[in-house]
Amino acid sequence: MTLTIVKNATCTFCGCVCDDIELHADEIRIVETKRACSLGESWFKNHTAEHLYPDALIDGHPATVDDAVEAAADYLLNANMPLVYGMSNITCEAQREAVALAELIGGVVDSHTSL
Amino acid sequence: MTCTLGEVKNRADFMIYWGGNPAECHPRHFTKYSLTQKGKFTPNGRKDRTMVLVDIRETPSAKAADVFLQIRPGKDFELIGILRALIKNQRVNEAMVAETGLPLSKLEELVAMMKAARFGVIFFGMGLSMTRGKHMNSAGVLMLAAEMNAFTKFVAMPMRGHGNVTGADVVMRYTTGYPFGVNLCRGYPRFNPGEFSTVDLLVRGDNDACLVLGADPGATMPQPAIDHLARIPTITLDPKVTHTSRLSRVHITTAATGISAPGTAYRMDEIPLPLRPALKSPYPTDEEVVRRIREAVARRPAWLPERNGEMVV
Amino acid sequence: MGFVGLLGCVMLRITGGKVYDPANNINGTIQDVCMDNGRIVADVQGGRTINATGMVVFPGGVDIHTHVAGAALNFARAMTPENQRAAAKFMHTKTTRAGIGGPTPTTFATGYLYAGMGYTTVVEAAVPVLSAKHTHEELRDTPIVDKACCLLMANNEIVMDLLEKGETERAKDVVAWLIWAAKVYGVKAVNPGGVTAWKWGKDAKQVHEPVHGYNKVTPGKIIAELAKIVDELGLPHPMHLHCNNLGAPGNVATTLETMKVLEGNRAHMAHLQFHAYGGDDWHTFRSEATQIADYFNKHKNLTCDAGAVLFGNAVTITADGPWQHLLYQLTGRKWGNLDVENETGCGIVPYTYKGSNLVNAVQWAVGLELLLLIDDPWRVFLTTDHPNGACFWRYPEIIHLLMNADARKERVKKLPAKALSRIVLADLDRQYSLYEIAIITSAGPARALGLTQKGHLSVGADADIAIYNQNPDGEHMFRYPRYVIKAGEIVVEEGDIKNVRDGHEFIVKPQYDPKIEDFLKPVFQQQYTMSFENYPVELERVHGLQQVKIS
Ligand code: SF4
Ligand SMILES: [Zn+2]
């Protein structure tokens, strides 16, 4: 397996958002996390490139992403007051999409901050 | 009265960590940004700095502190008020001081240290901002730092928690004008913390569908909120099948932020940083899935705010 | 959705309108304007025709100095939920995104508000390198208008340290490298040296005294060197300067001193209104617009924008930390301050200009006085330093006052009696013509910015056009354009946003020695807290990017 080295990688586990991490990864997992603290290290090593989970679940049953997207769209559009919640472990690009979606479905959008 | 972390690194000779346990929750905060880091005007690192820790219990962070002040739980607001009075040489109520669990002499020492600083900083953590009177406490600390500028340079900064919560704040602010809890039901942004905050909404049972992104409320929220999430159609996007996924009608697995998903995350001081994923995920990113849901919604007959019969001009 | 406007190759003809195109000396002539594929063309066959009989045709407005995107503004949005609640609401529709107006509008609303007023290009005047990625993200979601950014430079410690050591050549390479790293268009100097001093709680008030922490570097030296660097790099826009001592009584001396330092170089003096005061303190505060205008009229190397004040709510938000602290002490209002490592800082104080307040009355007069006393409209432009002096969407109120001496004099009568001896506005009879309004709102700023395809209607220019119903009430006329055309497409019709498309962002790439990175990297690692490699803005982050050639 080829080993990839990514320099100046960014850890998003805590609010420090350290961007000086050197990651060593084979195709499946990250094997080394230079300069990361122990929390960062376990965050990086806790996620792999394996297909460990079904792509999607509808009512607990495996489904395609396409079907899950359509089901999600139906539920959200049919609701009177849908909520879009969380946002802390996703990228800003995803957050930006989330606000646009909340607007389109006429919902509430909220993050962990309000907890 | 705040700054980016590099200002702390380069200039701060005095720091208060209030209501947080950085040694365990933000492990590299001391070494990368603040206490032990060597900066332009703090060439000797730790030796050039004094650190005070204010907390309700002695955490491992206390070992790093020069002074540890153990405050009685829930007395932060009182202590902020006392310090604000002391810096202005105003008399303080001794009974009130006694309630904080700290002797007046200690507090006077603290104020003397604050005033003697060249550049002081207060980092306030969850313990301060998330407990009783949280908004009042944060506002109070910011006022204290602002008022200290009559004597010397002083700033205050929240120690924000998980991942990219700062980014969420930033993005919501420029798109909607408000940092969190934004209600778009009437077709324009409304903000009313308490009314439109997630836990309040869910506990009251106001929502009739929920999209959960990068969070696991099923594991962390109060039970009545979780019960409501299980009752309504909940949709969860997460790199793993979580507690929340299990109570959801729809779960979609996504790539992990910064590990296999590219993009941007904000540091607690609102500095944007690019993500450099080291792995290729078999799953789509959150960004892609949310966009696809948005496009799927857009293909359906549109919801327009007029539907609620409340046009606003 | 507000994300992508579909680009069509639409042909369009405007016929019957009185055209004001000062760059081509066209002063109200009735003639056709044709466009195709986003550009002005000599003629079109077919396509839509707008009958503009009884209307006036202007090149789209260009705002040379405003604050509409970035960390500081976004900080202000968080500070003022009460403003947001009171502000105009923007509804989600099939074409537009939801948003909020007011003094610190949301990004989408900003685009709609500017376009709705006939403005099609705006310059965000204060961008730190460290958070430039954020500014570009906000600009991406600022629809319709084209954008450009000025980079905050006069308190950059790496540059200042080099000036201290006399290494001006290297400083030039660093400046050029930073411009490209931030993906910006121009260079802005704010309170040179004063923001750095503020990081120790000090200010830099004397043009020729060393900045706190330095021996040789004075504000004057920073100003002179940066102006020279910008000229030598051949940037299309000269150094954009916010002088020291903003807002302070008696700062006219500083401003005159500064303008002397600039002799021999080009410079753009930002929001000159805030720098034209006499008096020794707030009690003796008075206008020195005459003195400033006299000097300015004789020195053709300079351009300026007004930074005019209107009575009402504003949010003062500048990279001038010390001034903001002073304002906070004066008003007792909320104060936000944000210092940005090694580069700059900013302060934010919500503020209300009151007609009954002597100081505010003088400030209001000074902005108009400068616009009336500076004789060459090609060198003074309409701004309010939004949201500092007033909100940009109130420009039509100023236009009305410029065009109508009677209305102005009526308003002067309502000022506090004490103010009248401190200003000269009541004695000024000049009235702006439509031609001159087209210069100060479009042709002039476009030329000063070096944006050759903006501010005029020559063949090949960007087809950005505002069409107004002619009306003796300038305020009404300019508040509600009949049509606004952006890149050849009708985006606003009778006040409604009809069509949303994304604008461009202009950037430049000045020349530098690539080896400068070998010098920068170690210094950076010592002074900053992020990785050097993560510091520059990636090209993909600038949406609608258009690189402007350097001469
Ligand atoms: S490496 Fe450690 S301190 Fe840095 S962001 Fe990750 S978890 Fe936080
Ligand atoms: Zn400005």
ipTM of the complex: 0.96
The structural domains of chain B, with segments of one domain joined by +, span 5-158, 165-299
Q: Which SS3 state, helix, strand or coil, does residue C523 take?
A: helix
CATH number, domain containing residue C184: 3.20.20
Low-confidence ranges of chain B (pLDDT < 70): 127, 129-135, 303-313
Q: Residues 6 or more apart from B257 whose CB is under 8 A from it?
A: A12, A89, A90, A91, B163, B164, B214, B263, B265, B275, B286
- Nearest Cα of chain B lies from the Cα of C8 at a distance, in angstroms, of 22
Instruction: Please indicate, yes or no, whether residues A66 and A108 belong to a single structural domain of this protein.
Output: yes
Q: Which chains touch B (3 or more CB pairs under 8 A)?
A: A, C
Instruction: Please indicate, yes or no, whether residues A103 and A61 belong to a single structural domain of this protein.
Output: yes
Q: Say how many Å lie between the CA of residue B26 and the centre of ligand 1.
A: 6
Does any domain span residue A50? no
Q: What pLDDT score was predicted for residue B310?
A: 42
Q: What pLDDT score was predicted for residue A100?
A: 98
Residues 241-300, chain B, touching C (beta carbon < 8 A): 264, 266-267, 270-274, 294, 298
Q: Which of C1, C137, C531 minimises the CB distance to A100?
A: C1
Say if the Cβ atoms of B179 and C342 lie within 8 Å: no
Q: What pLDDT score was predicted for residue B306?
A: 56
Q: What pLDDT score was predicted for residue C326?
A: 72
Domain of residue A13: give its range. Answer: 4-45
Q: How many domains does chain A divide into?
A: 2
Residues 53-72, chain B, touching C (beta carbon < 8 A): none
Q: Which of B90, B236, B270 is nearest to B165 (CA)?
A: B270
Residue B29 Cα: closest atom of ligand 1 = 3
Does any domain span residue A66? yes
- CB contacts < 8 A (B, C): 151
Q: Give the number of other Cβ atoms within 10 Å of residue C513's Cβ.
A: 14
Domain of residue C349: give its range. Answer: 58-505
How many Cα neighbours within 13 Å face the side chain of A76?
35
pLDDT tens by residue, chain C, 551 residues = 333 334 445 899 999 999 999 999 999 999 999 999 999 999 999 899 999 999 999 999 999 999 999 998 998 888 877 777 888 999 999 999 999 999 999 999 999 999 999 999 999 999 999 999 999 999 999 999 999 999 999 889 999 999 999 999 999 999 999 999 999 999 999 988 887 777 777 777 788 999 988 999 999 999 999 999 999 999 999 999 999 989 899 999 999 999 999 999 999 999 999 999 999 998 999 999 999 999 999 999 999 999 999 999 888 877 676 667 777 776 666 777 777 777 777 777 888 999 999 999 999 999 999 999 999 999 999 999 999 999 999 999 999 999 999 999 999 999 999 999 999 999 999 999 999 999 999 999 999 999 999 999 999 999 999 999 999 999 999 999 999 999 999 999 998 999 999 999 999 999 999 999 999 999 998 888 999 999 999 999 999 999 999 97
C-alpha span between B92 and B94 (Å, rounded): 6
Q: How many domains does chain C divide into?
A: 1
C-alpha span between C124 and C150 (Å, rounded): 6
CATH of domain B5-158: 3.40.228.10
Tell me the whole-structure pTM to 2 decimals: 0.93
Q: What pLDDT score was predicted for residue C9?
A: 57
Q: Say how many Å lie between the CA of residue B293 and the centre of ligand 1.
A: 32
Q: What pLDDT score was predicted for residue C98?
A: 97
Q: Say how many Å lie between the CA of residue B29 and the centre of ligand 1.
A: 8
Q: Which chains touch C (3 or more CB pairs under 8 A)?
A: A, B
Instruction: Please indicate, yes or no, whether residues A17 and A64 belong to a single structural domain of this protein.
Output: no
Does any domain span residue C50? no
User: Which among A1, A16, A27 is the top mutation candidate for probing chain B, defined by the most B β-carbons within 10 Å of its own β-carbon?
Assistant: A16
Does any domain span residue C159? yes
Does any domain span residue A51? no
Does any domain span residue A102? yes
Instruction: Please indicate, yes or no, whether residues A41 and A66 belong to a single structural domain of this protein.
Output: no
> What would the mean pLDDT of A71-88 be, rounded to a whole number?
95
Q: What pLDDT score was predicted for residue C6?
A: 43
CATH of domain B165-299: 3.40.50.740
Q: Does C525 touch chain A (CB under 8 A)?
A: no
Is the CB–ligand 1 distance for residue A18 below 6 Å?
A: yes
Instruction: Please indicate, yes or no, whether residues A66 and A109 belong to a single structural domain of this protein.
Output: yes
Q: What pLDDT score was predicted for residue C15?
A: 97
Strand B14-18 versus strand B119-124 pairing type: parallel
Q: Which of B2, B39, B312 minimises the CB distance to C89?
A: B312
Q: What pLDDT score was predicted for residue B308?
A: 44
- Among the bound ligands, name the one nearest to the CA of residue B259: 1
C322: left (phi over 0), alpha (psi -120 to 50) or beta: alpha
Is the CB–ligand 1 distance for residue A11 below 6 Å?
A: yes
Q: Which of C347, C350, C331 is nearest to C339 (CA)?
A: C347
For residues C166 and A112, which has the higher predicted lDDT (pLDDT)? C166
- Nearest Cα of chain A lies from the Cα of B311 at a distance, in angstroms, of 13
